[in-house]
Structures are given as C-alpha cells and as structure tokens.
Structure 1
Amino acid sequence: MATSTDTAQRGSARLRVQRFGTFLSNMVLPNIGAFIAWGLITALFIQTGWIKLIGDAFGYEGSYGFVSQLGAWTNADGTPMHEGTGIVGPMITYLLPLLIGYTGGRMTYNDNLRGGVVGAIATMGAIAGAAGTPMFLGAMIMGPLGGWSMKKLDALWAHKIRPGFEMLVNNFSAGIWGGFLAVVGFVIAGPFVSAFSTAAGNVVDFLVERNLLPLTSIFIEPAKVLFLNNAINQGILTPLGTNEAASAGQSILFLLEANPGPGLGLLLAFALFGRGAAKSSAPGAILIQFIGGIHEIYFPYVLAKPKLIVALILGGMAGVATNLAFSSGLRSPASPGSIIAVWASSPPSSLLGVTASVVVAAGVCFVVASFLLKIDKSDDDGDLAAATAQMEANKGKKSSVAGMLGGSAAAGSTGPIHSIVFACDAGMGSSAMGASVLRKKVQSAGFSDVTVVNKAISNLADDVDLVVTHRDLTDRARSKSPSAAHVSVDNFMGSPRYDEIVELLRERNGAGAGAGAAAAAPAAGGASGLLARESIVLDASGDRAAAIQQAGELLVAAGAVESSYVQAMHERETSVSTYMGNLLAIPHGTNEAKSAIRRSAISFVRFPRGVDWNGSEVRFVIGIAGAGDDHLALLARIAEVFSDQSQVARLEQARTEDDVLAVLGAMQPA
C-alpha cells in the first residue's frame, strides 16, 4: 500500500509540474515568431552583428548608415552614436513581455480578448517598475493574473447589466481594473522580479565561474524525457537567458535544454545498434529531431530503455562543457530545437563553439548509447509496448485497443467515432507528426468523415470521441476529456496502435464507407452527431425573440449548453444580427459565454410561415453551440448547405426529423 501510494503521489506531482510547464509554455510558444524576429534583428544589426562583420571584411568600415541607428551603436566611450534607442532594446523591453502578458491574460480568461488587454496593461506596470530588466517573468505573473481576475470580476455582474449598457460597463471595468493592476505591477511585481532575476543570474555566474554548469544536465535530461521540457525551457531558461543575452549579447542558457546533439547521438545509436521497430524508425526520427527540432520524438526510445538516460546526461554535460570552453551561446531561444534554429540564433563569434557543442554532445551520447545497446541482453526491441501490440496483431488476436481505452467503458463511449485528437504537451511538435501519420491511415481506410487533428492537452475539451497521447500524458488527457476513449502510444512514427484504431473504426463505424454511409448511421440515431432528432422542430411560430429562445432551449434540453447560454444568444443578437440570408438565421452565444458550452451541438427550428428578422424573412433558425473553435467549422458547413438551393428546397419540403437529418445530420465536430 505504501509503495502504491508513493507511486501515485509521484505521478500526481509530475502531472502538476507538467501542467504548470504547459501553462508557461502556452504563453511563450505562440510568440516564438516575435522572439525569432528579435533574434534575427539582433544578429544582423547590433554593433557586433553579421552586417558589420561582413562589411568590415569587405572594407566598408564607417559606412553603415541606418544599420547603426537600428542597432543603437555606441562610440568607443560608450556614448550613443545616434539619437534614439534603435529597435533591439525596445523589442526586448516592451514588445516581447507585452505579447507574453497579453497571451497569458487571454489564455486565463478562456481566450477572451478583454483578458488579454487587462493582462497587457498589468504587464506594462511591471515593465515600468523593473528599471530596464526584461520583464518575461513579470509578464508570466501579471498577464495571467490580469486575465483571471478580470474573469472573476465579470462573473460578479454577469447577466445583471441592463441591455444597452454592456459596452460601457465592460470597457470601464477593464480600464479601471487594468489601471489598478498596472500600479501593482509597478510597485510590487517589477522590483520583485528584478531582484529575482539578479539572484538567479548570480547563481548562474557562480556555476559558470566554478565550471559546474555541466552538472545541470543531471536534472535537465531526465526531466525532458518525462515531458517537462517546456517547463524547463520556456518557464526557466528562456527568461533567464533572454536577460543575460540583453546585457552580454548571448547566453549559454539557451542551449542547456535545446541542444539537439544528445538526441541525435541517441537516435544514431538506435539506427546502428538497435533492434526491431526502434532500429527501423530511428532514421526517420533523426530528421524530425535534428532538422525539425521536435525533441519529443526520441523520448519514447529512452522510456523503453531507461538506462539510456545515462547517455543523454553525459552527452548534455559534454555539450555544455564545450560551450563553456568556447565561451559560446545563442542570442535568442532556439525554438524549435532544430540545428537550423540553433545556427540562426548563433552570433558570429559563437558559431564555431555552438556547432562544436552539438557535435561533441552527439558524439558522446552516441558512444555511450551504442555501448549500452550492444551489452543489452533483454529480448525487447526497444519498444516493449509496441512490440507486444505487433505480436498480438501478427497472431490474429483480438485488438487490445478496447483494453487501453481507460475509462471508456465506464463512460459509455461505445458509439461511432467521428473526431480524433492527437494531443501532446504543447500541441505543435509530436502531436502534429502523429496526427499526420494517423490521418493518412484513417483516410486510406475510407473513413473520410473522421477528423484527425492535433492539439495541446490544455486545449482539450470533453467533446471528442477518441484521444491519442503518449502513455506518459494519457492521465492528463483523460482529466480534460473524461468521456472520450483514450489510446496510449509509445512510438509517434509507426505505432501499431494506429492500425488498431483503424480496426476500431471499422467495428464502431462500419467498413470504411466514407462520409456518406458512415455519417448517415449516427444521423439516423440522432445522438452521436451534432444534431439530435429531439433538437428538431418543423412547425414553429412566433417572433425573432421567441425563435432565439426556442433554438436555445433545444440546446439546453440536449445537454449541450447551460441555461445561461440562451441569454447570451439574445445578447449576441442585440449587438450583431445573425441573419445570414437565403431564409437562414444562426443565433449563437457571445464569446464570453463559451464557458457555458458543454459540447458542440446545433438545433434546427423551421418556421413555415416565416419570421420577421429585423426586416428580413427567416424560415430556418439554427442554434449553434461550438466548443473551442468548432463554431468556425459549423458555420462553414451550414453555409455550404444553404448555398445550395436544392438542399434548401429539401429542408423546406421535409416532413419528418429524418428528412432534416438526411441533409444536416452528417455534420460532426471538427
């Protein structure tokens, strides 16, 4: 019992750290393009950048014009050569932290723009109070605080504002509260983060001066394999490294986690000395890891043979030691951790050292991993779970997917599958690759009506049919989508689980008949699609308000939305008409009411005698509840139907609910 409890506590602690890391990375990753832009501008235009280096080599000294202005060059005595601060300094001081603060505020307010605005205002206070220290950590605090607190305040007077005063209250509440948080940021957050950054910098200096920095690989490399790489890189190393790069021109911290050398060495060892699926998949994984920068691709190889973590640690230590020996580093984060991104972020003086650190790290890891693989006497091929599944498939035994769908039976998830999400920590790297592979298999099998997309686990909602994740992330995914079936994989490139998923589709959906037959079956039942039979009314009457009310109440009755969503549908209509033309109106809630949506669904109400919709005739009212970004796909699909006069005529002539489902029932969540 004690062992079981300890294991559960360790797993729970790791999940919490993973969630925290994902939370931090979700603020940084959408803005990586801005970091790259700042890094490129810095590499080109500062006084020690590429333009001056190449110009000096060709004899253009002293004739750089606007280049020196952009880079805010200084004279020998340290005084500015031109008025102004160039572009490099303002970007790192204002642009990057404000982007992070805006993203964090918007993220904590359910993707609401007002949350982003308040988060940016609060971040500006921290920037102003930081005495010139880049406020990345401050932005990661004040941005989410602004969005979360604004969400809580809005909830206090939700649905209590008199019609016509919504904009006034929303704007003034955001302005007043944002101003207050800006003062808090100036007085508290700015000085606190400045002191913390100074202390952290002193710790790094202490390690560097005593040549102890390579020891950080003892913690970083195992944490990466446990999918804590985003927590380490975006949450710790990127803010500290950016501060150091702003003052020193480069930072070794950007390469502690992002160096692609250890992963390259490990995969090379598998390609030469591995066995079975691990050996055959390693060459393709090398391209994805080293060129594409998706380090997650090699994590399953280590998880299958945990002793190989020794090779990664020694390789990481060798890479850090090489950078220390060459005094090399990067000007900006290398994200993704591709050799291309690493070279692009390297200043001219560090290019040799950075390249050497990658080569040395790869070489050391390759030698150690090769030795460990050659002396390995185990019978597995480097991927025990995948090998077992492949063996069962070869023997013709029943698919084990049903056994892996943890919780699906209890949740009653036994109907057809129409939406599959491949989820990973950040939703960009490994999940995109896995989704691409799985999507091809699903489409080749003839299931054209089944969607396969990739998302971050933090963006999952409980409105999908099946979720695919790495086995170490399945528990987190299950907590976000408890009603979905869950499949765990160990190998992103060629997992046998993909073939088992296709077999599961044949069992649940019928033989791959494509959109026509596969979608028609759930439509007839009405429960597994977006439009249920109970959500269809063919002979309604009343005015516009009554029509919106009826469409909304049908969504409530279907369990798709909370009752508060109906009022949000009326509020949307008062600000923007939902009349679409061609006898159609599509009432739906405001963005603020997204939290009231439980799952994606539509309702269908036909008014044979028509409704006066603010001067236009409407005969079809389709209520929409789109979870996440599903509303975009719903709008596109509804528009496709109603742009076809023959389909509109079919809906006008429909006599039963099944007649409507034959036209609209095939729509599934995107």
Structure 2
Amino acid sequence: MSVLIKVKVQNIGRFLSKMIMPNISAFIAWGLISGLFFHSGWIPNKDLEKIAGPMVAYLFPILIANKGGQLISGKRGAIVGSIAIIGAAVNTTSPMLLGAMIIGPLGGWIIRWFDKIIKNNIASSFEMLINNFSSGIIGILLSIVSFFVIGPIIEQFSNILEYSVNIIIKNNFLPLISIFIEPAKIFFLNNAINHGIFSSLGMQEVDKFNKSIFFLIESNPGPGIGVLMALFCLKNQSKDIKSSLRNASIIQLLGGIHEVYFPYVLLNPKLIIALILGSMANISVLTIFNGGLVSAASPGSIISIFAMTPKGLYIVNTFSVAISFLVSFIMSFIILKIFSTNYQENDIKILIQREKTTSELNDGSKLIDDNYLDSRKKINKIIVACDAGMGSSAIGAGILKKILNGLNINIVVSNAAIDSISNDTDLVITHKNLTDRARIQHPKLQHLSLNNFLDYNFYKMLGKYLVKNNIDDTKIFHSDKIENKKEDIKINNLFYFTKKNVFLNKKARNKEEAIRFIGEQLVKQGYVKQDYISAMLERENMMSTWLGESIALPHGTIKAKDSILKTGAIFCQFPQGVRFGDDPGDIAFLVIGIAARNNEHVMIVSNITNALDDKLVIKNLSNTRNVNDVLKLFSQNIPR
C-alpha cells in the first residue's frame, strides 16, 4: 500500500472514529439498559425498557451528527448537523448511525462554505443576527432534504448492507473478514474499524436481535494475547523482554489496549497469520453458538466484554475469547519455532540496539546530537499522542509521569489524539508509524518517536536528558530571545526562492543519490560547505526525513551547523519518485533540501509545510514543468 493511500485510509477511518469515540459512554449506557431491563435481561422491566428506544432512534444520531458537524466547522457545524439529522431520523425505521456520519459532516461543510462567502459582507452589529438565523435556516433546509432524500437512500443502502451481511453469515463466510481486519489493526486502524464500521452494523442487529456479533470481532483481546504469550514462552528471552510481554498481556486483557502487541507483530509480520486464524476461530464460535454483545465493548477488555454480554451468553462469549487465544497462541508458537533463526536474529538486534542506545543515552545527550531535541528550548509540556488519544498514549503518559515524578521534574505530561495536540505543547511523543503524520500536522513542535509505548528505557533516557538539559536558566533564554529578535529583523531579507533554487523533472535511483544532488546545489550556490553533504547523508541514516504526502525534507545534523554559510533551500521534483521512508510505499516526489543557521530552519520548514498543506497543490507540483508554478506558491509563504 502506497503511503498516500495509507494516509487517506487512515484519515477517513480516523474521522469516522472521531465521531463515535467521544460518544462511546452513551453507547455503554444504552448497553447497560438493554442488558438489565430488556425482556431477556437481568431485571426485566417494560417501563424502563422504553428508555432504550429513543436513544437508538434519536439520541445516537444527534450525538454523532453533532460531533461530525463540529469536526468540520466547530459549534455552528455541530448545530446544523444536529438539526439536519432529525429529518432522516423521523422518516426511517432503521437506526440512522450511518446517516449521521454523512449528514453531520455535510452540514458542517455547508455552513463553513456559507461562512466563507459572507465573511466580509456582514454589516457591523448584524453578525449575531446573521449567524443565528443562517444556522437555523440551513439546518431546516438540510433537515427537509434528509427527510425526503438522504434518509430514504441511506435506509435502502442499510437494508442492502444488512441483506448482504445476512447472506455472508448464512453461508459461513463471515470468518473470512479476519483476513482484512487483523492486518488493518496492525496499522492502527483498529478504532476506525470498531467504531466507524462495526458499531453501525452492530446497532442495526441489536435493534432486531438484542445482541450483535459485530461488537465482539475487533474488540476481542484473545488473538493479541495469544501472540504475546507465545513470545513470552520462547526460550532465551531476556528478563526485560519477558517483563514487557507479561505487562503487555495484562494491559490488553484487563485494560483493553490492543496497540501494545502491534510492535511485536510488526517486528515479525508472519505472526499476522496467527492473528487471522485466532480471529476466524472467534467469529466461527460466535456464529455457531449465536454469541454477541448488546453494545460496543470499549475499550476491548475482558471486563468491558462481560459488562456488555447479555444474560445467557457468558459461556459462549468467554469460550469465543478463549478459543481465539488458544488458536493464536498455538499458531504463533509454531511460526516462531519454524522461523526461530530469523526471529532470534531480530531479537538479538533489538537487544543490541537497546543496550547500545542505553549506553549512548546514559546522559541523554544523543537525543540532541541526533537532531531530535534542541537543548536550548525548555520543555514545560509533553504530549504522548496516538491515533485516538485514549489507549496506548494514556499508558505511555502514565509511565512517563511516574518516571518524571521520581526525578522531581515538574513538567505537565498528558495524552491526546494526534489531531488534538495543542499549540502550547513543547514535545510530542508518538509511535514511529504515526510520527510522520504528527510532524505534518504540527510542524512547529519538537517530536520524538518510539517503537513501543511500554519502552521504559526510552522514558528513563528522556528523564535523564531533562534532568541534565531542562534547566530554567533565565539569563540564557533571555539572551536567546534578544538574539532571536535581532534575527527576526534580518530574516525578511535572509532567503527567498528563485529559479536557481528550483529543479524539475530530475531522476535518482535512490535517496542517497537525490540527497547528493541537492547537497551539490547547496554548495554551488554558496549556502554550505562541501562537508555538509556528508552531514545530510548522516542525518538521513539516523532517521528518515520522509514527511509523508510525497514530501521529504533532507538536512544536515546539528553538528554540521558550522558548515552552513547562509540559510537556503533547494526544491527538487522527482516525477518518477524516490523511496525515502522505511516502507516500499514511502515515495517522495518533492524533495526540499534545507540548510539553515541557528533556529532559522523552524521558520523555513514551517513555511514550506504551510505552502504544501493542500494535496492538490502537491499533486500539481509533482507533475508541473513550469518553474513559475513553484515560485508563485512559495513567494506567498517564504519570507523575503
């Protein structure tokens, strides 16, 4: 899968998930009401059972549409989305969860478009009147459209989808979806699958059968724990790795954080086979014995699963989790034994790298030398971020808090979704598979990557770095600010793109060749000394400068700052692409080499990323043969 497709899929899935996740408590409340007061529940009560109906018919669609509109256009989008979904909800018999995921964002997009049109055309003192009436009128018009058009179409689509799913279940093909689900989960699409797809299908089933198998497919912790325990049972494992595996198993079983086993599977991708077979076993048991849950189990822990299990299905659901664990455990153990040589080599490499990293980072200095952190910037707030901002990042933030408290370091540490990182953050920590996305969305912040959110060594090394470097030296920072102000006065005349900085239709066999070409141009144009090219290659070997979205920003190490004569950049277009990232699909079509003195690179990188924040612009620049297209874009974003 190419990086562009992967990012697009992640973005769509993440958007769907963001509409459901904030409202998951409402789903849990509905599940508890169903489990307790329905005729098949623990305390049947016909009067209290009536609470559940309006929640499915109206509350859930309004909540989802409200969040969908808010994601697009803030509070006004939320209001319009909430009004618009009512039309579809009252004119259909199916739960309008899928409809809310469409109508809510649609309302947000329309009100945002309307606001752009009238932004500079409202007479003074009429802003409140126009804003309030416009939201109400647009909301009513969309509600009418959803009543007559969108709602019925979505209901027909839902019926077709339900019919198709029933055919799949009747013909025993449902276990085959594991082939797609388990690999997708490994690439951090688990929340998108569970809340963006299965929640909608599950609610339709629950509305008719008071339970659904779809709530116990992605959320089942059995396959992941099977992989972790198979690794734990291998001989010659170090105490640190065994401890990490044991902790990860407990966290997944009781905490429901599935992301903890992803790094181990990415280390040995053959284990995906075991996950698929374990998931197939789970779905087969649920299908044969009519298992399922009354609502979404979030997080996917055994506690949540038991809480959402209807009366009479505890044995079936428990058996499905257990059998998926056994199948995954056995298959993982067999795979690890068959390919034991390869795994041991990988395992040894990890241990060597960990020991090497520990020795090199015993004072935290390597974090600076590798161009990861700027020691001159005091860190007051750290965010540990993941896709949803709930599970794995919460674990990482908790570990880091504990370590920093033990070192008496007073720094704010919290977790968040990548999309929700605030601008006052000083340092962002993400899994290496998510760092590129975090950098693209927050280019002005400092970023660190880790391989595993349970990597205690990483957090300890960061703590040592902070003890040594995070000194509140007012004089140093004050003098820096004075110098920065002087530099800001000069920076307007510091650098700007001209035709000599732009190279189109170039070819390179690999990223080393591309970097050398760009480095040579920096040398020829007087920006850097010759040895800066070696520093660019050294920096690339430390960590890829691949940003995602077809863009790479190669530059030198901090040690090479003395080789920079003046701030400059080279824009290079490679229409055939050059692989810059670790994955085969990490292809860069636009490579921008940077040489910046002091902290000037922050402004240069920031303006470049701002200029390239439109996918259509990136596509056009990747194919243009006109240098002026490049100059026109950057003349509006690079200071001169």
* Fold similarity call, TM over 0.5: yes
Give 1:390 shift.
3.2
The corresponding residue for 1:165 is 126
Kept after mapping to 2: 8 A contact 1:328/1:349: no
The corresponding residue for 2:26 is 34
The corresponding residue for 1:51 is 43
* Alpha-carbon spacing, 1:133–1:363, altered in 2? closer, same or farther (3 Å): same
Whether 1:104 aligns to 2:90 is no
The corresponding residue for 1:344 is 307
* DSSP 3-state at the match of 1:379: helix
Mean Cα deviation higher: 249-258 or 457-466? 457-466
* DSSP 3-state at the match of 1:94: helix
* Alpha-carbon spacing, 1:380–1:280, altered in 2? closer, same or farther (3 Å): farther
Separation in structure 1 between the aligned mates of residue 432 and residue 57 of structure 2, nearest angstrom: 40
Give 1:506 shift.
4.5
The correspondence for 2:195, drawn from 234, 251, 260, is 234
Whether 1:213 aligns to 2:178 is no
The correspondence for 1:68, drawn from 27, 36, 46, is 46
Separation in structure 2 between the aligned mates of residue 219 and residue 495 of structure 1, nearest angstrom: 32
The corresponding residue for 1:353 is 316
Give 1:374 shift.
3.6
The correspondence for 1:247, drawn from 199, 202, 208, is 208
Counterpart code for 1:96: F
Give 1:40 shift.
0.7
* DSSP 3-state at the match of 1:258: coil
The corresponding residue for 2:359 is 394
Whether 1:425 aligns to 2:355 is no
Give 1:379 shift.
3.3
Whether 1:368 aligns to 2:331 is yes
Kept after mapping to 1: 8 A contact 2:361/2:461: no
Kept after mapping to 2: 8 A contact 1:273/1:279: no
Counterpart code for 2:47: Q
1:511-522 equivalent positions in 2, closer than 5 A:
517=472, 521-522=476-477
* DSSP 3-state at the match of 1:455: strand
* Alpha-carbon spacing, 1:523–1:293, altered in 2? closer, same or farther (3 Å): farther
Kept after mapping to 2: 8 A contact 1:389/1:497: no
* Alpha-carbon spacing, 1:118–1:428, altered in 2? closer, same or farther (3 Å): same
Give 1:384 shift.
5.3
The corresponding residue for 2:271 is 308
The corresponding residue for 1:117 is 79
The correspondence for 1:267, drawn from 228, 237, 247, is 228
Kept after mapping to 1: 8 A contact 2:282/2:324: yes
The corresponding residue for 2:4 is 12
Deviation string 1:394-442 (CA, Å, 9 cap, x unpaired) is 3668855347667x7xxx8963333221110000111111011122223
Separation in structure 2 between the aligned mates of residue 15 and residue 251 of structure 1, nearest angstrom: 30
Tell me the TM-score normalized by structure 1.
0.68
The corresponding residue for 2:161 is 200
* DSSP 3-state at the match of 1:253: helix
Kept after mapping to 2: 8 A contact 1:441/1:499: yes
Separation in structure 2 between the aligned mates of residue 34 and residue 386 of structure 1, nearest angstrom: 45
Counterpart code for 2:36: L
Kept after mapping to 2: 8 A contact 1:423/1:455: yes
Give 1:304 shift.
1.4
The corresponding residue for 2:105 is 144
The corresponding residue for 2:403 is 441
Deviation string 1:228-272 (CA, Å, 9 cap, x unpaired) is 112211111110111111111111111111111111212222232
Kept after mapping to 2: 8 A contact 1:393/1:399: no
Mean Cα deviation higher: 146-155 or 470-479? 146-155
* Alpha-carbon spacing, 1:502–1:380, altered in 2? closer, same or farther (3 Å): farther
Separation in structure 2 between the aligned mates of residue 403 and residue 152 of structure 1, nearest angstrom: 47
* Alpha-carbon spacing, 1:479–1:384, altered in 2? closer, same or farther (3 Å): farther
Separation in structure 1 between the aligned mates of residue 127 and residue 214 of structure 2, nearest angstrom: 47
Give 1:491 shift.
1.5
Kept after mapping to 2: 8 A contact 1:435/1:452: yes
Counterpart code for 1:50: W
The corresponding residue for 1:299 is 262
Counterpart code for 2:355: Q
* Alpha-carbon spacing, 1:477–1:372, altered in 2? closer, same or farther (3 Å): same
Whether 1:286 aligns to 2:249 is yes
Deviation string 1:194-214 (CA, Å, 9 cap, x unpaired) is 122112112211111111111
Kept after mapping to 2: 8 A contact 1:35/1:332: yes
Kept after mapping to 2: 8 A contact 1:389/1:400: no
The correspondence for 2:142, drawn from 181, 196, 203, is 181
Counterpart code for 2:367: V
Separation in structure 1 between the aligned mates of residue 16 and residue 200 of structure 2, nearest angstrom: 11
Give 1:14 shift.
1.2
* Alpha-carbon spacing, 1:520–1:237, altered in 2? closer, same or farther (3 Å): farther
* Alpha-carbon spacing, 1:404–1:228, altered in 2? closer, same or farther (3 Å): farther
* DSSP 3-state at the match of 1:273: coil
* Alpha-carbon spacing, 1:474–1:185, altered in 2? closer, same or farther (3 Å): same
Counterpart code for 1:120: S
Deviation string 1:606-630 (CA, Å, 9 cap, x unpaired) is xxxxxxxxxxxxxxxxxxxxxxxxx
Whether 1:483 aligns to 2:444 is yes
The correspondence for 2:52, drawn from 83, 88, 91, is 88
Give 1:486 shift.
1.8
Kept after mapping to 1: 8 A contact 2:227/2:274: yes
Separation in structure 2 between the aligned mates of residue 389 and residue 462 of structure 1, nearest angstrom: 32
Tell me the TM-score normalized by structure 2.
0.71
* Alpha-carbon spacing, 1:40–1:164, altered in 2? closer, same or farther (3 Å): same
* Alpha-carbon spacing, 1:395–1:155, altered in 2? closer, same or farther (3 Å): closer
* Alpha-carbon spacing, 1:384–1:457, altered in 2? closer, same or farther (3 Å): farther
Aligned length: 482
Separation in structure 2 between the aligned mates of residue 355 and residue 107 of structure 1, nearest angstrom: 38
Separation in structure 1 between the aligned mates of residue 213 and residue 371 of structure 2, nearest angstrom: 43
* Alpha-carbon spacing, 1:193–1:518, altered in 2? closer, same or farther (3 Å): farther
1:584-663 equivalent positions in 2, closer than 5 A:
none
Separation in structure 1 between the aligned mates of residue 348 and residue 194 of structure 2, nearest angstrom: 27
RMSD value over aligned CA atoms?
2.6
* DSSP 3-state at the match of 2:312: helix
Give 1:70 shift.
2.5
* Alpha-carbon spacing, 1:124–1:424, altered in 2? closer, same or farther (3 Å): same
The correspondence for 2:17, drawn from 22, 25, 50, is 25
Give 1:471 shift.
1.0
The correspondence for 1:496, drawn from 453, 457, 464, is 457
Separation in structure 2 between the aligned mates of residue 312 and residue 158 of structure 1, nearest angstrom: 52
Identity of aligned residues (%): 43
Separation in structure 1 between the aligned mates of residue 350 and residue 422 of structure 2, nearest angstrom: 28
* Alpha-carbon spacing, 1:403–1:379, altered in 2? closer, same or farther (3 Å): farther
Counterpart code for 1:231: A
Separation in structure 1 between the aligned mates of residue 337 and residue 173 of structure 2, nearest angstrom: 31
* DSSP 3-state at the match of 2:277: helix
Separation in structure 1 between the aligned mates of residue 361 and residue 112 of structure 2, nearest angstrom: 54
Q: Which has the higher contact order (CA 8 A, sep 6+)?
A: 2
The corresponding residue for 2:429 is 468
